[in-house]
Amino acid sequence: MNKLFVVIPALNEENLILKTLDSLSRQTRKDFSVIIVDNGSTDNTKNLILKYSESSIFPIILLNEQKSGVGYARNSGSLKAIEMGAIYISGTDADTLLPKNWVESIYNGFKDDKYDLLSGECDPFLKIKLDNNKAQFVLDARSQLFQKVKPYFRGANFAITSKMFIKSGGFIQPLTKDRKPAPGEDGALELSALKRGGKICGCLATVFPHPRRYISNLQKINEFKGSVHEGGIVTQVRDEDNLEKYLKDIPAEVIDSFLSKIVVTLFNEFIIEIYKNPVLNKIYWKKSLALLKPFTKAEIEKDVSTNTDKSLLWLKYKDSFFSNLNS
């Protein structure tokens, strides 16, 4: 049996999942198995997977998860992988293209037993030309932050040893106040592993999720609607391959506002959240401080610890943050 299992949650992905499986078939290393966890599809997803598995060059196991939520789906698939003898568990999404060296980067990351978790970036705009300097700056800055400050651990591109998965308690499904599934199961697993001494390396090959969630967000549509998170994306954005037209139809001021929100989110994630979380603080805070030079450590820590208004912190430090991102 293969050491590596790839777990993929799926919900109504009949238009995209075969592309994901095709990208797995082109891997330079073929020693892996795939577990697809259907999370309540009402379209032809399951039939397409079963048909594909008949001639697949890698083993495909199809599971059903009755509880609605990507965390439940990832967890049941991972537990099945461990039951079948997995040493390593990796994950991606059913709308994501994987470069041919993705599996190889997983094996290389675990080669010397230095790391318990591996992560990599997600580039949703592989096929869309971003004719926008600010957009390119934001995406480049985001990439640099993940490389030089804190790795990007997300469900679309991760791997973990089975031992650390068990030790960390697996994926836990976050819920909203009205008990509906919410995103965040990936970050919760990362934090649980780090609390238990897990070591993480951001060394996985970049993967390419379908950009529908980003575009739907630009259209001011709830980005989780209609996705495996149980929430809703309009059908034409969800299934359309030629998405350039959607970007062209979005007013420039909307795109600019969206990009500004991304930068503020990065500030919150790499400054406020890292400082306030004891586990992340211990590992990453020294690197985070470099993003706010020339402000002193004492001043920054006093502001972040005593000021509950994130917008005021942003107003004070945004010029410094932008300057250091540029450099």
pLDDT digits (tens, 9 = 90+) for 112-158: 999 999 999 998 765 555 566 777 888 888 889 999 999 989 999 99
Which of 124-128, 182-186, 295-299 is predicted least confidently? 124-128
Three-state DSSP at 207 gives strand
Strand partners, 158: 91, 119
Flag whether pLDDT at 6 surpasses 60. yes
pLDDT tens-digit series, residues 79-98 = 999 999 999 999 999 999 99
* Cα(42)–Cα(260) distance, integer angstroms: 37
In this structure, are residues 32 and 58 in contact, taking their beta carbons and an 8 Å threshold? Answer: yes
Antiparallel, parallel or unpaired: β 117-119 and 96-97:
unpaired
Q: Please state the rounded mean pLDDT for residues 287-298.
A: 97
Query: Which H helix or E strand runs over 244?
Result: helix 244-249
Question: Average pLDDT over the chain, rounded to whole?
Answer: 88
Q: Sorting pLDDT into bands at 50, 70 and 90, what band is 1?
A: confident
Query: Quick check: 91 and 73 in contact, CB under 8 A?
Result: no
pLDDT tier for residue 233 given thresholds of 50, 70 and 90: very low
Is residue 285 predicted with pLDDT exceeding 80? yes
Sequence-ordered list of residues with C-beta below 8 angstroms from that of 40, at least 6 positions apart, any chain: 11, 65, 66, 68
Average pLDDT over residues 252-269: 83
Q: What is the pLDDT of residue 224?
A: 37
d(CA 98, CA 5): 15
The SS3 assignment for 87 reads coil
Q: Between 143 and 168, whose confidence is greater? A: 168
Mean pLDDT to the nearest integer, 11-39: 96
Domains of the chain plus CATH, in order, are 4-210 (3.90.550.10), 214-326 (no CATH)
Is the CB of residue 292 less than 8 Å from the CB of residue 324?
A: yes
pLDDT tier for residue 235 given thresholds of 50, 70 and 90? very low
- pLDDT of residue 236 exceeding 50, the answer is no
User: Is 110 a residue whose pLDDT tops 90?
Assistant: yes
259 has a pLDDT exceeding 90: no
Residue bearing the bigger pLDDT, 149 or 239: 149
pLDDT band at 250; cut points 50, 70, 90: low
Local structure of residue 131 (DSSP, 8 states)? -
